[in-house]
Structure 1
């Protein structure tokens, strides 16, 4: 029973939050006259000493003490004696752990935000560097239209920006204090819950004592936000794996972010990217695990909730590490822009430009232009030539407007330069987008 019941091996990570909440609670008890002012001072000094001890030596793990709350209280009793027993006045471990956990998740949101901002910064630097570097844009992993590498990287800046917004929203919603709700019904002591909420940086106390101790929405929101961020990281990791492969050859990874083979000396495997991609599975599972834990719980507290912290801690660790690794890769990988441009020019990637030209300059309905260009591409495939090299006679046989001069102008450079619509891939637009994103990045969570 002791082994399954004890949570101290996991919840010892809450020691800073537990001590901070206890100090706020003790100060409030003293100010409200619920305990003596002298006892409040003694308790605070003892808790400060425990914080110093844990910071220097780590948290001792004694399964008999069960959890971080009793570990702190036990040490406090050793240090200050009888006043330690007054600390838990008007408090339950139910509101205590809910408070500690919210404080921890609040900090976790801020730390993840910093990691997301770092990867955005790295992506923006590379996007600025490659605002005019041409690469193929893909649909169905087939060459579709030429784009700029900077434009492609900016798509991930947008994704991680939405992730930051989700974590900011989660942080805002969780920033209410459960402390003072006691076991579930509140307390008969004249607490000042607003005082402890303010002391701990919360916006306000949770309004309902039952909800205060039973709510784990904030943990679910953290895991949900982490899951979506992990999906974005996994998509980027997948592209790095593909781009690093010999058939693509778009990038070269430095030794710091790749490994060799135990048998094949020529190999440089994108292991870091593959590990980030794999971690996404764990992060997606974290939300599902926590949702299953809480989905059938009656109000208020059940011991099932003891497992919520391991799930959230694991999700945080995996996401923080994945963000750091991916940031390092983005900062140091080498883009082979010559290879990118060559592939962008293949596969008839400027066919849409020809269709647009027929619509714009000759007044053809787009569907007719689409049909004409499709016929041109088919003939070029039959002859084994690029669209720009389609013989004049063959082009004229399809449509009189398709002249050699028009075909020769279908370069990938002209294609990307023409995409000046808002959000488009034209280098000028990309540079504008980089500048705007950098300005937005100065905002804080």
Structure 2
């Protein structure tokens, strides 16, 4: 049996149907659609809406098989039959009718594509954010390892794109590590939005079916409580929140890339990036371009554009489900794929980044990056007002005097700062944060796995 919702409308036109169809985009979601269908079926069986017989068990088994094979059989069948469907929901329902017969028709009870897709997206986004968090943990570990390795090496620090101070290299890596620690915890805390259970909301205002919300919660790792149905089907707050978090994360990645460009500009040999991340010009052989970071910066800006377009699309819609919401799915899919890939590449860059102490030593010695420390040092030692010393040192700098004439070891000053003295303690603290977050993520993954295993058990 070929089941088409459009048959109620009458005629169809190939190019029009192809234009509105999300079948290809739904490949990413197909497994999750089948998961939600299976959880829905189990809820209907639990509440007695579907009798447990061989047909119901066959339907259950068919859905389990599709989940385990990533629904490839559905796409092969659609291609073989030369059919166009609005989306994978319609294709799956038609396929199940074809495979198991009329019992598949019970799946339409107590549901709508509107509440089901809201559940599907939550499951998909949750899994993808976990992938993102895994890669972000790897980047955090790489930054911590670099901080430990290059402790005691003096590097320049910038304000207004000019060298402003010099300090321990660990400060740099720990600063980025702190940012990514905060973002990691923001993202995982916001997974709470993805545990809301939209099932039972129907098209917009609920259905007549009394769902087994306890069973749905156990099978899908969602909350047991039901959320308001109009919000459940019409809101994409959870998707846009995730997009916003990702855009913030990638904007920080872009800034890290910019730092590498600045160091490469001011001291060409100060850093030794992994050779695989560097390319040269087709006609200028002396060039050494940090190409992976250039691409990462561009992709970060693209994601900011995706976020803007998604919010623009969303803000123009009335409440309730509108097909424009379907277009947001594609935006998120592209965003999360790009972000995971970018984190993987940037993490590899940082993990294998080398710093050249000799080059940096020369840069620090011959660059005025010590004036703030020198002003403070003289003020403390002479007990003169700091502003008075500030102007005196400023005049010396204007006259072109160098620090060596004043017999001050600026590197020793940089390493004597309280923040530099406490760096080892700080590194130990961030190592503890990483362990805590690994444990949190491990527990979450284990919990989701247990829910999935429970769902895949077929009635005997």
| 2:64 alignment counterpart | 48
Which has the larger displacement, 119-128 or 199-208?
199-208
Could you say if the C-alpha distance between residues 142 and 67 of structure 1 is closer, same or farther in structure 2, counting changes exceeding 3 Å? same
Contact 2:299 2:338 in 1 (8 A): yes
* Corresponding residue of 1:191: 211
Which of 398, 409, 412 lines up with 1:411 in the alignment? 409
**Relative contact order (C-alpha < 8 Å, sep 6+): which is higher?**
2
Which residue of the partner structure matches residue 371 of structure 2?
351
Q: Distance in 2 between matches of 1:189 and 1:278?
A: 49
> Is the contact between residue 66 and residue 72 of structure 2 (CA under 8 Å) also seen in structure 1?
no
Aligned-partner Cα distance in 2 for 1:325–1:150: 22
Structure 1 residue 330 displacement after superposition = 0.9
Match of 1:28 in 2: 43
Q: Deviations over 1:229-276 (max 9, x none)?
A: 111110111122233347543212233112232223333321101000
List gaps (5 residues or longer) in structure 2: 1-15, 442-460
Q: In structure 2, do the counterparts of structure 1 residues 178 and 362 end up closer, same or farther at CA, with 3 Å as the change threshold?
A: same
> Which of residues 302, 306, 312 is equivalent to 1:286?
306
Deviations 1:391-435, CA, capped at 9 Å, x for gaps: xxxxxxxxxxxxxxxx31x22321222211xxx2x1x42222111
Q: Cα offset for 1:104?
A: 0.6
* Structure 2 CA distance for aligned equivalents of residues 58 and 371 of structure 1: 77
CA shift digits 1:34-88 (9 cap, x unpaired): 1112244222101112234436678446662221212222222222111111112
Quick check: 2:126–2:191 contact (8 Å CA) kept in 1?
yes
User: Partner of 1:189: helix, strand, or coil?
Assistant: coil
Output the CA distance in 2 between the equivalents of 1:81 and 1:260: 62
Q: 1:437 to 1:387 in 2, by over 3 A?
A: same
Measure the CA separation in 2 of the matches of 1:354 and 1:246: 22
**Equivalent residue, structure 2, for 1:388:** 404
Which residues in structure 2 correspond to 1:22-421 (within 5 Å)?
Answer: 22-38=37-53, 39-54=55-70, 59-60=75-76, 64-245=84-265, 247-379=267-399, 381=400, 385-389=401-405, 407-408=406-407, 410-420=408-418
SS in 2 for 1:37: coil
Count of residue pairs the alignment pairs up:
418
Native 8 Å contact 1:137 1:344 kept in 2: no
CA contact (8 A) 2:31 2:66 kept: no
RMSD over equivalenced CA pairs, Å: 1.9
Cα distance change, pair 59–21 in 1 and its aligned pair in 2 (3 A): same
Which structure 1 segments of 5+ residues have no match? 390-406
Q: Which moved more, 1:287-296 or 1:204-213?
A: 204-213
Q: Which residue of 2 aligns with 1:436?
A: 429
Mapped to 2, the partners of 1:416 and 1:54 lie a distance apart of 57
Bigger Cα displacement from structure 2, 27-36 vs 138-147: 138-147
Instruction: Kindly state the Cα deviation for residue 166 of structure 1 after the two structures are TM-superposed.
Output: 2.1
8 A Cα contact 1:182 1:209, kept in partner: yes
1:12 Cα deviation from its structure 2 partner? 1.7
